[in-house]
Amino acid sequence: MGYGDTCLVVIKIGGIILSEPHDLLPSDRLPVTIEEEMRSSYLAYAMSVIVSRALPDVRDGLKPVHRRILYAMRESGFTSDKPYRKSARAVGDVMGKYHPHGDSSIYDAMVRMAQSWSMRVRLIDGQGNFGSVDGDSPAAMRYTEARLARSASFLLDDIDRDTVAFQPNYDESEQEPQVLPAAYPNLLVNGAAGIAVGMATNIPPHNPLEVIDATLAMVTNPAITLDELMQIIPGPDFPTGGIIMGRRGIRQAFETGRGSVPVRARAEIEEIRKDRYAIVVTEIPYQVNKATLQEKIADLVRAKEIEGISDIRDESDRSGMRVVIELKRDATAEVVLNQLYRFTQLQTSFSVNMLALDEGRPRTMGLIDVLKAFIRFREDVILRRARFDLNKVRDRGHLLVGLVIAVANIDEVITLIRSAPDGATARERLMARAWPAEEVVPLLELIHDQGNIIVDGYIHLTEAQARGILDLRLQRLTGLERDKIQGELDEVSVKITELLEILGSHIRRMEVMREELLAARAALSTPRSTEISDALGDQSDESLVEPGQMVVTITRDGFIKRTPLEIFRSQNRGGRGRTAAGRRGDDVVVRSFNAHTHQWVFFFSSGGKVYRMKVWHLPEAAPTAKGRALVNVLPELGEDSITTVLPLPQDEETWDDLHLVFATASGNVRRNRLSDFRNIRASGLIAMKLDEGDSLIGVATCQEGQDVFLATRNARAIRFQITDDTLRVFAGRGSTGVRGIRLGEGDQVVSLCILNHVDASVEERATYLRMANARRRAIAASEADTEEEETIEVTSDEEETASQDAALSEERFEELAAQEELLLTVTDTGFGRRSSAYDYRVSGRGGQGLNNMNFTTERRGREIVGTLPTMDGIDVMMVTDTGRLIRLPVSQVRVMSRQAGGVTLFRLDGEEKVMSVFPVEEEDNDETNGESSDNIEQTQSAPDIAENAGQPSETASSSTVPEAPEGNG
């Protein structure tokens, strides 16, 4: 091939061949790069897909394939008043004349228009197997029959009256309509879905009655607002029913053309047998496969992601859908149903994208835009139809004028025709003769005839009139028939007047449109299938979570999890506990607390920031699982670590009356309003400014007048009242606070507690402690209670200052007992004791505090793990660095002086250490007697007894610590 030769560049994209000859040298042509050729060719292909295949037209709401199917069936006579015809015949007509694609694509489109669960108003009336909502395939087209549905006539009527433009088909052998003269907004009624090149459409179906009413309202008031339209069309109406949750997504879609509409299945809880319930689903979201839905539910049940379901069966029949999900006896039906909504397609979101062709261009439109485009198109249809009808009526009137002339001059007409040798000559003679025009002058004015010209009172017939006279039957010459001709002329005159009025008046065209819309409304109106629920729209994901108490565990390496509290059964003091968390390497548990699933939890980081999350958002895991990394739960945490976790009161209405007290390891404290932290973004919020090397050890909620209690690692404690003078409310969050306790070398704060302030003098508190301790010892002696461990009774400083002879009245004693709080102090070796809060005097902020515990031996403890307020009737949990956890009632821990060494609470192994202790605020169940299978060990083994040689010995399960007098809890 030499220079100057011509080559043929052939590019095939998506089944379309694009070719163009190009010269090899730019002698008389410019060279085209492959990038430019690909760009232009691909753009042409994309526009072809957008305009000719994938997107519906806003005027009739149909894609080309649907339009061609309906038009071909009408042309073939497969209308609703005719018998059914084989689907293969209709498909063949469409494929051969208008749609040059595979028969499967045509048949699939035809099948969809016949499915009641796909179309809000069916356009094809099918007979045979056209599939099912379970996703079953339809029978082959040679086995099914179809015809146009009655509703399709409202899309096709008047198509032969020049109402729409036509275009050549693919081989220019036929003419096909560019659009159908739809009488109602089919785009909104049946919706559409399609994927083009670089764009897609997804329009939901709506109730035809509501859509037509909205169109009528806009015809009456073109300036109608969206709010007024939404009073008529509240939202989509899916053929499968269901419940739309809220109106926010609907309004966004109607306003902008884009939005997300959450749809939920209709389900009810029924009692199928005694004490056995089932969830019965009668409606499912639009475009959800019922069989696939049941398989998904079964898979989730097998994977134990949804628990409480015992059986699933489909009881659907001709009367309607009915899927029965039978529940286990102990399952909570509402919770299971909410889980099904969350994890299955019983609840979906319909993504609205109202993209359609408007004047040949793709455009995203809102509700008002779609209705305006339809009204504009429908007015044009009425206008074109009126012009067509006017021409037809005028043509008829023109022929009637010739007939009137012939009847008036019948003898001459007959003589002329009889003398003519043939029909052509007779026609020419009729046209050449001048006829008297007296009788037809008013008729010509009546029908606005422009074909005849009157000269000197005479008129010449046109060729059409001459042919009409020759075709005149003899019976039309009778007197009766002559009257009929005159009557027909009058009707023609009235019709012409009406059509001229339509052509000349916009108001009249709107009246015609209103009449036709009312006719379509009467034929197509059906009740609404989909309910719109404002209440469900306000629900959050919390409704999917069963309420209950959870144990939240955080490890040193930053793993967090929540575990249902009921998993941990109560054990007696001295038990061996159970494994609480699986550890990775040398990871240890550093934080544990219990909270309700619907409580807010604040996470305070080492960098002084605070994050907020609800408990149910935290990952749930088994007791032995390690949980999930905090960096995954709080992605904005970065390199910081969580140092303090604070569960807030579940009732948010109480937040306005609460403050937050911050305490750092260096002994600083600060008070802020809780409302300062109400709005916390996902990236966190600066909570407190920290000095270098300092960290938050605790944050607690408090109220004015309560007391702050700080306990240190080296067994020091301080208590001071919360007042504006002692600890003022800080306005900002960037302060480092003020000194709360003065620490010794190597010491740091380990616990922050909030205690109720009691108005009692030093003498009263000391006297109360002496009387209360005496009563407790008396009760213990009466029950012959002997402790396994040595108990050190040390008289407090305040008790020494009180007179040994002093006493309180019984009334005052009971009053102080009712306000008494007991503090549990636990050491790292598993020892602990309870002491009265009265044993800690209220002092000023910033002092060195009091002694909190005496470590008589290293076995009793080296460091204080925590001091927390407790009361009889609750349990506490202790977690060790090896992941073991024990839960025990605080009533089994003796009340002693604040300097007592305590008793064994948790029997540890080797170098194992207690890392944290926290209260369990829940009533014990029937298993709190220590007889459950989780009680690994209730008595001491021989090595344990040998280790405790020289100390009073008794088994931990042989006795129970007596309760304090009434009011001391």
Q: What's the CA gap between 236 and 239, in Å, rounded? A: 10
To 10 degrees, what angle do helices 506-524 and 479-504 make?
A: 100
Q: What pLDDT digit, counting tens, does each position of 274-323 carry?
A: 878 999 999 999 999 999 999 999 999 998 888 889 999 999 998 899 99
pLDDT band (50, 70, 90) for residue 4: very low
Mean pLDDT over 917-922 rounds to 66
Active-site pick, 3, 143, 341, 838? 143
Percent of the chain residues past pLDDT 90, beyond the cut: 34
Q: What is the mean pLDDT of residues 49-57?
A: 82
pLDDT band, residue 28 (cuts 50/70/90): low
> Is 458 one of the annotated active-site residues of the chain?
no
Please give the pLDDT value at position 926. Answer: 38
Q: What are residue 268's DSSP bridge partners? A: 280
Task: For helices 103-112 and 87-97, give the axis angle rounded to 10 degrees.
Answer: 120
CB neighbour burial string for 923-962, b if at least 16 within 10 angstroms, e if fewer: eeeeebebeeebbeebebeeebeeebeeeeeeebbebebb
Q: Which amino acid is at 231?
A: Q
Q: What is the pLDDT of residues 102-128, one digit of tens each?
A: 899 999 999 999 999 999 999 999 999
Higher pLDDT, 462 or 452: 462
716-730 mean pLDDT: 89
Least confident of 75-79, 443-447, 763-767: 443-447
pLDDT at 50 over 80: no
pLDDT digit string (tens) for 319-377?
A: 899 999 999 887 878 888 888 998 899 999 999 999 999 988 999 999 999 999 999 99
- The pLDDT, as a whole number, for residue 59 is 94
Residue 458: the pLDDT is: 81
Domain 266-345: CATH class, spelled out: alpha beta
Per-residue pLDDT, 164:
95
What percent of the chain is helix, strand and coil (3-state, nearest 5)?
35, 25, 40
**Among 221, 204, 205, 201, CA closest to 213:** 221
Domain at 387-513, CATH homologous superfamily: Topoisomerase, domain 3 (1.10.268.10)
β-strand pairing of 243-245 with 531-533: parallel
pLDDT tops 80 at residue 622: no
Which residue, chain included where needed, has tokens 């359609």?
356
Q: Give the CA radius of gyration of the chain.
A: 45
Mean pLDDT of 842-857: 85
In Å, how far from its chain's centre is CA 639? 33
Instruction: Report the chain's mean pLDDT, rounded to a whole number.
Output: 81
At residue 690, φ and ψ (nearest 5 deg) are -115, 145
Calpha distance 154→518 (Å, rounded): 12
Residue 198's identity, in one-letter code, is: G
Residue 571 pLDDT? 60
C-alpha closest to that of 371 among 261, 254, 528: 254
What are the extents of the domains in the chain? 6-32, 62-169, 266-345, 387-513, 547-947
Buried b / exposed e across 89-102, counting CB within 10 Å, b at 16+? bbbbbbbebbbeee
Tokens of 1: 């091939």
DSSP 657: G
Query: Of the segments 87-91, 409-413, 558-562, 647-651, which one has the largest average pLDDT value?
Result: 87-91
Residue 687 in this model has a pLDDT that exceeds 90:
no
- Residue 967 confidence (pLDDT): 32
Assigned CATH class of 547-947: mainly beta
Question: Contact 403/469 with Cβ under 8 angstroms?
Answer: yes
- Angle, to 10 degrees, between the axis of helix 367-408 and the axis of helix 506-524? 110
Q: Which range scores top for mean pLDDT: 37-41, 740-744, 778-782, 799-803?
A: 740-744
**Which CATH architecture fits 62-169?**
Alpha-Beta Complex (3.90)
Question: For residues 135 and 51, which has the higher predicted lDDT (pLDDT)?
Answer: 135
Name the pTM for this structure: 0.62
